[in-house]
């Protein structure tokens, strides 16, 4: 089937070589029953590719279902996918068919496959290899004929090395990989997409269609678009509704583009995700911990410098002996040193000789990442009086990840 006809049928805008190649692979593999793994960042339109593959396959008249693996709690995902028997767990008041049973003969799209628990991954592997599965709470083996299309915005190979994804399942899913390009990698398509969205929204809201001048168009093309097509569509809708002048300039455009995303390249704490990404969540906790530690060290250095300049203010600061270890790294110079070594609170005197700062006692501090992570989790639970949901929200992780960490570190709630 012609690629342009596919684009017209499914509303795909763009002519970049990377996009055309991804569509070509999808068309070629559609008539087979091969498992397909769609890779791409969030917002690039991975689900559309799964619909294209199903619509062009021999299964097109049979059911198609899209399942977000990250949105289903770990305790119920086996039941959702494979079904359960009555009484198999609390709340199982009746027999229930899973998706692999109800979609028999059709196609199932497993989005965010990287968030699937390891136990469920083993069950999925058996379905892919033998077409067999067992309901939760049952011992009867059942057969199914379902084509699996999976998608992820994670590096699954990296997750296999971390022990968070089965290597055998990765190679079984990766029979035919399709890489959907990020929007910033197909810059020539950005003006076309923006024009399409602006026309759609002008018809929807009964307003004149907006236009971009040359500078605004260049700014739009060079914006990083971390949310990809989804973000571009949202921006187009905002401008269509809120812009008073239908000829949008670069200055007008800046009001709608989040400026901090263009200049900030430092790690940021992500908003809590309902599915909880284990790797990202742990990394975010560490970022938060390290940034807080850096801030504390900077404040202590400044406070100590002020005391060296004016020893009389030492009594106005509440120091603890264990806090003085962070001052080792402050570079003392001849102009910084007071004639009389100050005594800070009840701490041991700091002896200043030959432009060096010596301590009577060296205080050791653990540098274990696991200990710091455990300490942060304990503080969050204490702050929220043991409420796991609120503590997980404060830490920037999912409640499921927090529960796993409590078990891992043996933390009593």
Which of 263, 282, 299 marks a domain boundary? 263
Which of 213, 228, 263 marks a domain boundary? 263
Does 12 share its domain with 142? yes
Does 159 share its domain with 192? no
Mean pLDDT of the chain: 82
pLDDT of amino acid 371: 79
Which of 248, 263, 278 marks a domain boundary? 263
Give me the percent of the chain exceeding a pLDDT of 70.
77
Does 241 share its domain with 283? no
Does 231 share its domain with 316? no
CB 65 within 8 A of CB 103: yes
E strand residue ranges, 34-183? 36-39, 64-68, 107-111, 132-134, 141-143, 147-152, 176-179
Does 276 share its domain with 304? yes
Instruction: Specify the 3-state DSSP secondary structure of 325.
Output: helix
Residue 355: band (very low, low, confident or very high) from pLDDT cuts 50, 70, 90: very low
pLDDT in tens, 53-106: 999 999 999 999 999 999 999 889 999 999 999 988 888 888 999 999 999 999
pLDDT of amino acid 366: 57
**Domains in the chain: how many in total?**
3
Does 205 share its domain with 160? no
173: containing domain = 3-181
Residue 179: band (very low, low, confident or very high) from pLDDT cuts 50, 70, 90: very high
How much is the average pLDDT of 269-289? 54
pLDDT of amino acid 401: 84
pLDDT of amino acid 302: 74
CB 84 within 8 A of CB 77: no
Which DSSP string corresponds to 366-403?
Answer: ---HHHHHHHHHHHHHHHTTT-HHHHHHHHTS-HHHHH
Does 334 share its domain with 192? no
Does 254 share its domain with 285? no
Q: What is the CATH number of the domain that holds 38?
A: 3.40.50.300
- Which residue did the predictor score with more confidence, 281 or 379? 379
Does 331 share its domain with 259? no
Residue 160 has pLDDT above 60, yes or no: yes
Does 257 share its domain with 273? no
pLDDT in tens, 195-227: 999 999 999 998 888 999 999 999 999 999 999
pLDDT of amino acid 75: 86
pLDDT of amino acid 400: 80
pLDDT in tens, 100-137: 999 999 999 999 999 999 999 999 999 999 999 999 99
pLDDT of amino acid 183: 95
Q: What is the CATH number of the domain that holds 255?
A: 1.10.8.60
How much is the average pLDDT of 133-147? 94
CB 330 within 8 A of CB 298: no
pLDDT of amino acid 204: 92
How much is the average pLDDT of 369-396? 83
Token reading at 215 = 């500078």
d(CA 32, CA 107): 12
163-181: buried (b, 16+ CB within 10 Å) or exposed (e) per residue? ebbbeebbebbeebebebb
Does 69 share its domain with 118? yes
Rounded to the nearest 5°, which phi and psi values hold at 248? -85, 130
Does 16 share its domain with 107? yes
């Amino acid at each position: 089937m012609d690629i342009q006809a596919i684009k017209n049928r499914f509303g795909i805008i763009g002519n970049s070589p990377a996009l055309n190649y991804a569509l070509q692979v999808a068309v070629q593999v559609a008539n087979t029953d091969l498992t397909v793994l769609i890779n791409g960042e969030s917002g690039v339109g991975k689900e559309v590719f799964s619909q294209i593959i199903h619509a062009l396959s021999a299964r097109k008249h049979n059911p198609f279902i899209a399942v977000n693996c990250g949105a289903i709690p770990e305790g119920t995902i086996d039941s959702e996918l494979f079904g359960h028997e009555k009484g198999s767990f609390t709340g199982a008041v009746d027999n229930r068919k899973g998706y692999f049973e109800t979609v028999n003969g059709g196609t199932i799209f497993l989005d965010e496959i990287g968030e699937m628990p390891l136990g469920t991954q083993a069950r999925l592997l058996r379905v892919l290899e033998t077409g067999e599965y067992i309901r939760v709470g049952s011992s009867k083996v059942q057969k199914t004929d379902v084509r699996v299309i999976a998608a992820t915005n994670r590096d699954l190979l990296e997750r296999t090395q971390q022990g968070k994804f089965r290597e055998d399942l990765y190679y079984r899913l990766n029979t035919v990989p399709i890489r959907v390009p990020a929007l910033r990698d197909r810059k020539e398509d950005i003006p076309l997409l923006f024009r399409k969205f602006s026309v759609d929204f002008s018809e929807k809201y009964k307003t004149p269609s907006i236009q971009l001048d040359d500078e605004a168009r260049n700014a739009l093309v060079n914006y990083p678009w971390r949310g990809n097509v989804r973000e571009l569509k949202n921006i187009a809708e905002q401008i269509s509704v809120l812009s008073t002048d239908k000829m949008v300039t670069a200055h007008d455009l800046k009001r709608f583009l989040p400026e901090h995303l263009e200049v900030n390249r430092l790690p940021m704490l992500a908003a809590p995700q309902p599915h909880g990404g284990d790797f990202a969540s742990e990394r975010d906790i560490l970022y938060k911990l390290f940034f807080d530690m850096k801030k504390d060290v900077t404040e202590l250095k400044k406070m100590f410098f002020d005391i060296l300049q004016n020893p009389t203010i030492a009594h106005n600061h509440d120091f603890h002996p264990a806090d003085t270890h962070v001052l080792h790294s402050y570079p003392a110079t001849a102009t910084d040193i007071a004639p009389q070594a100050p005594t800070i609170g009840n701490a041991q005197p700091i002896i200043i000789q030959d432009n060096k700062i010596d301590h009577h006692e060296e205080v050791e501090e653990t540098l274990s990442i696991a200990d710091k992570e455990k300490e942060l989790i304990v503080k969050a639970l204490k702050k929220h009086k043991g409420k796991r949901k609120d503590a997980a929200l404060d830490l920037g992780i999912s409640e499921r990840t927090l529960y796993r960490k409590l078990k891992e570190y043996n933390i009593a709630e």
